[in-house]
Every structure is written in C-alpha cells, then in structure tokens.
Structure 1
C-alpha cells in the first residue's frame, strides 16, 4: 500500500486493515537499510560525491513510488492558495498540480540533498537512516490520534477501521525502542533528530488544524516529507558543528 516493494495481492477487508498501520514504519526500515547499503558502495567503490547525494535522495522516492511526495505537493498547493477551508480541501482532491507545488518541491529537494551531503559521520548516518522509521511511527500515531478533516477518503478509512488502542500502543513501543537504540549509537545525534521530529509533529498538528480542521491522506504524506527533511537538516547541522 505504501511502497513499490512487490508483495502478494489479496482482497482487503476490515479485519486486515485493523492493524495495518502497525507495520507502516517498517517501510522506513527498508529505506534505511538501502541507504546504508548505498553508503557502503559509495565508501568502497569510488562513487562521486554528487552521484552519492543524488542517488541517496532518490532511494526513498524509489521505495515509496513518490506516494508521500504526491501528498506533499497537493498540500503545498492547498496551503499556498490562502482560500477558505472548504476550497483548500477541494484543492487537495484535485489531481492537477499548481505552481507552488513545483516550487516547494524544488526547494524541498535542494534542502534535503544539501542536508544529506553534510551527514558524513558514520554514527550520524545510522541515526539518519533510522529517521525514516521514526517519521512513519509518528505519521501512524497521527492517523489514529488526530482529527480527520473529512469523513471520507483513504486516511479516514484507515483511521476508522484501525484498532486505535492497539495500533497506537504498538507504534509508541516501536518508536521508544528505536529511540533507545539511537541513544546508544550516539546521544548528541539522537537528541538532535528526536527534537527535529517532535517539532515537526507539533507543527503538523497545529498547521493542519488551523488550515484544514484536521488531517487528510495528503497531509499525512506531507508530514512524512517534512519530518524526514527536518531530521536530515538537524543531523546535517550537528555534523557540521561537531
């Protein structure tokens, strides 16, 4: 559902969807492992720096098929329209892209790639790779905790069919275990990334509540993007200082 990883196909029913979000973070784990493999290739086979950065930025897109970027672009168009709430929700449903979606995606890509290029310390890179797991833990928690802006759509369906208590608990447990491991790997880098993730989560809640009255499937993708970028910037900044 959330990746281009080939998987067996089957017919969905409510029982299957109750706990689906519990496994959402593991797509982030796959992205992190692939990035670590790419870093190994870069370190041992003389890959040029610009190639390393560009392919590194492409790996998350290739794994997800741009699923979250689609939501990011739609959300950017809606937020920058400065129109009433109902019109913003209508823009989110529009399959066309506007100028602000393109402009903000270009800005996002440059910022992410610039931050990625700064994460050269091995411990910082391990923490960075774990960030894709953390972003999806927080996104799943938001789905089962925040108010939906609409009473229809993909996100509402997942939120409505999910066993909220179990899903929320499972995601918090996974998040806590991941953070514990990162504290062991490197306390400064872990703290920097967790602060960036927490601020992204708070901003997401405040921004979507103000602009849309809640979250949607598109804003969920938007959050994953801004959280991943914020964590990359935080780690790149700390790497530069250290």
Structure 2
C-alpha cells in the first residue's frame, strides 16, 4: 500500500517521494490514493488562508496565492490536460483528429484563451470565498479527484495506450471502484454537514460536471484520456468554488 501511495503522489503531485519501481502490484491500488493529493491541497489552502490573515496580507495577495496553490502542488499536470482539451474541442474536427491534437505537445490560441479565462474565473471565485465557504472549497479537491478516480475504472478508455489507460489496466477495478464510491459518499455527506446550503450546492455542481464529463468525452472522443481527466478536474474544482460563492451573494441579496 505504501508503494501505491508513492506511485500516486509521484505521478500526480510535486510532493517529494522516494524512488521506487512501478510494478503491476504497486499500481493496482494507486488510484485509491489519488484523492488524498486533493486532501493535501485543501489543507494547504486552509493553512495559507489563515497565514495570510495573521500576516495581514492584502486580499489580492491571498486570492492569488489560493489560486496558484493547486498548480504548485500538482506541477500543472491537470492544467496541461485542460489546455490540450480546449485546443482539441475548439478545433471542431472529427474524433481521430481531436485525439491527435490531444497528443500534440504544442498549444494553440484557443488553449491560451481558455487558460486566461480559467484563471480569471478562478481568481474571481477565490476572491469571494469567505470563512463560511472556505471548508467547502477545501473539500472540493478531494471530491473532484474521487470522481476522477471513479472515471478511470468505470468509463470507457478512448485509447488503449497512454498513462490513464495504464492506470486503468493495472488497477483492481472492483475494489478501486468501491473505494471511490465510499470516498464520494463520505465527502458529499461531509460537505452537507459543513454547510447544508453551500456544501449541497458544491456537491451538486461536482456531480453535474461529472455527468457532463462522461457525455462529452464519449460523444467527442469515444471515451476518456488523461488529458480529458485533467480537463474535468479543472472544471470540477472551478465549479465547486464558483457555485457556492455566487449562491452566497444571491442569498445575501434576497
């Protein structure tokens, strides 16, 4: 199990891990520990929030720090998938051509535009986060990765080769799926317990994005890939911040 933790954190984070050989055995349950990277990110977000308060940093500094923490912890691996997917979907080409664009290491104009829009919306969302929404936003990183882990073992793969396909092939599907469902149930209940209104809104937003992920990935790509998984993760985390923040403003107006 410790080897599975190392594989998960080595692949999907920049957190230093010991070097080990990736074998079929230690990759079997690696996906089970993917959501715990989200737990680390959520913990760092909360810590930085209160640290900025203690140091009396300005709101913009705090917002910028909270926005870039996920990228710093993960090394941008999911953002890379987001950019590749934006390029592919914006091409309006056939399925095979879109899959080729996903593999292209270069980025196009639409990826740059998508990146700018994403970070603007992320900054806007984090600027509206207060102490009532902060715990909900922190849990979003765990919940989004639980959905992503479930998709690895439950969704059809668009390619037979690739990093995501390798994890899916090596994973013990039934056990990993069961673990992900337990994670999803616990995280969703925890969100509602934290805030019946905002937690429920965040959980509903995550579920909606997950459904959209399956719909467009099957329709446009024939299944999921590592890049599409990154695209989903970025959208899911953004939605789980924006929806509660907007809802809080609506409640305050009403």
- Short-chain TM bin: over 0.9
Distance 2:87 2:188 in 1: 34
2:205 and 2:240 in contact (8 A); partners too: yes
Aligned to 1:35: 45
How do 1:62-101 residues align onto structure 2 when only pairs under 5 Å count?
62-101=72-111
Deviations 1:150-183 (A, max 9, x none): 1111111111111011001011111211222222
1:119 and 1:239 in contact (8 A); partners too: no
1:167 aligns with 2:197: no
1:17 and 1:162 in contact (8 A); partners too: yes
Distance 1:147 1:186 in 2: 34
Distance 1:236 1:179 in 2: 18
Aligned to 1:111: 121
Displacement of 1:43: 2.0
1:137 aligns with 2:141: no
Displacement of 1:25: 0.3
TM-score (norm 1): 0.98
Distance 1:99 1:46 in 2: 38
Aligned to 2:201: 192
> What secondary structure, in the 3-state scheme, does the structure 1 residue paired with 2:18 have?
coil
Displacement of 1:61: 0.4
Deviations 1:93-119 (A, max 9, x none): 010000000000100110111011111
1:22 aligns with 2:6: no
Q: Alignment RMSD, CA only?
A: 0.8
Count of equivalent residues: 241
Deviations 1:63-93 (A, max 9, x none): 0000100000000100001111101100000
Aligned to 1:147: 156
Equivalent residue in structure 2 for 1:123, among 124, 132, 156: 132
2:191 and 2:203 in contact (8 A); partners too: no
Deviations 1:111-140 (A, max 9, x none): 1110111111x2311011000000000000
Q: Greater RCO between the two (CA within 8 Å, min separation 6)?
A: 1
1:216 aligns with 2:225: yes
* Runs of 4+ with >2 A deviation: none
Stretches of structure 1 lacking an aligned partner (at least 5 in a row): none
Aligned to 2:66: 56
